[in-house]
Amino acid sequence: MKKISEILLKEGIILDLKEKEKTAVIKELSEKLIHLGYITDPEEFFSEILKRENLESTGIGMGIAIPHTRSKAVKELVIVFGRSKEGVDFSSLDGKPAHLIFLIAGPEDKKSEYLFALAKLSKLLRKDELRIELNKAKDEEEVLAIIKRYEI
Amino acid sequence: MKKILLYLNEAQKETIELALMLAQTFSSRLYVLFCLNSDKIKDEETKDRLEDEGWQKLYDVEEKAFQREIKVSLLFFEGKPENLIYELTKSYEVDTIILNSLAELNLLELINKNKAKTIILK
């Protein structure tokens, strides 16, 4: 199984998200994936990720959201990351807005790798120091370096 | 049966299936709780292993719930299970708790403390 730092795309890191609303933020992050060529059918992908979002809150609290989906429209398991200074309302159970948003996209036939990545990332993001450092990271390289350091 | 809480620790396949079936039948919101039992954490290695196990179990249930279009919320907390179940049941106004009799917690304390109906699978 791959590490988070191996599937988090450096080109897929947005340090200052333009959008402020949940659906628009998911779209902004999805567009990164589309632009980088990981999505075969953007419409299908977007509709599937929003369908899940409507059924459950992917805001896991502590200022984190992990929107995710497994779809035929995805070529390989990848993660894109966006940071929002103001925070985005992801209907987290703790009522706090999400500042660190990780979007995970996995192919339909890679269920175990996808679940493994979701579990690893959720576990990793429970670490207070890691979240503080991610909120302060100055560039994409630093984001990757922080993730690498904490997942050892 | 509007809000169901499934205590995932030690929950067997049948327990998970019952929670999903009831949530689907009654269009309930399903809260799935994995508790990192503070009494059981002896060292960092155990904590690390339990955290991995917990999140994987949670996302596995979430995936099953998603396939059936069930509204689901994942809960991962560290603490004493009896207290956590009590607090979460109260704050989310859960009306039904589902767990397995294998769950390593004080069932009597849990039942006496909570107002919600409790379904315990043997």
Q: What is the domain partition of chain A in residue ranges?
A: 4-150
- DSSP strands (E only) in chain A: 8-14, 59-61, 64-65, 68-71, 78-88, 98-107
- The confidence score (pLDDT) of residue B42 equals 84
Output the pTM of the full model: 0.93
- The residues pairing with B29 across neighbouring beta strands, listed in sequence order, are B3, B71
Q: How many domains does chain B have?
A: 1
pLDDT band at B110 (very low <50, low <70, confident <90, very high): confident
pLDDT at B108: 79
Q: Which of residues 71-130 of A touch B (CB under 8 A)?
A: 93, 111, 115-116, 118-120, 122-123, 126
Distance (Å, whole) CA B54 – CA B84: 15
- Scanning B72-111 for CB atoms below 8 A from A yields 72-76, 92
Q: State pLDDT tens for residues B57-75.
A: 999 999 999 999 999 999 9
Quick one: what percent of chain A has pLDDT higher than 90?
95
CATH number for position B63: 3.40.50.620
Q: Stretch A108-120: mean pLDDT, rounded?
A: 95
Looking at 3.40.930.10, 3.30.230.10, 1.10.3720.10, 3.30.1180.10, the CATH number of the domain A4-150 comes to 3.40.930.10
Q: Which residue has the tokens 């998603």?
A: B66
Nearest to A12 by CA among A77, A106, A84, A81: A81
Instruction: Tell me if ipTM is over 0.85.
Output: yes
Would you state the pLDDT for residue B11? 86
pLDDT over 80 (residue B103): no
Q: How many CB pairs under 8 A join A and B?
A: 45
Q: Quote the domain boundaries for residue B100.
A: 3-121
pLDDT band at B105 (very low <50, low <70, confident <90, very high): confident
Indicate the burial class of B104 (C-beta count within 10 angstroms; 0-12, 13-18, 19 or more).
exposed
Question: What is the helix (H) or strand (E) element at residue A97, kind and residue range?
Answer: none
* The two structure tokens encoding residue A42: 């953007």
Q: Which residues of A touch B65 (CB under 8 A)?
A: 55-56
User: Does pLDDT of B102 surpass 80?
Assistant: no
Q: So what's the pLDDT on residue A92? A: 92
Residue B39 has pLDDT above 90, yes or no: no
- Greatest pairwise CA separation for chain A in angstroms: 37
What are the pLDDT digits (tens) for A28-61?
999 999 999 999 999 999 999 999 998 888 999 9
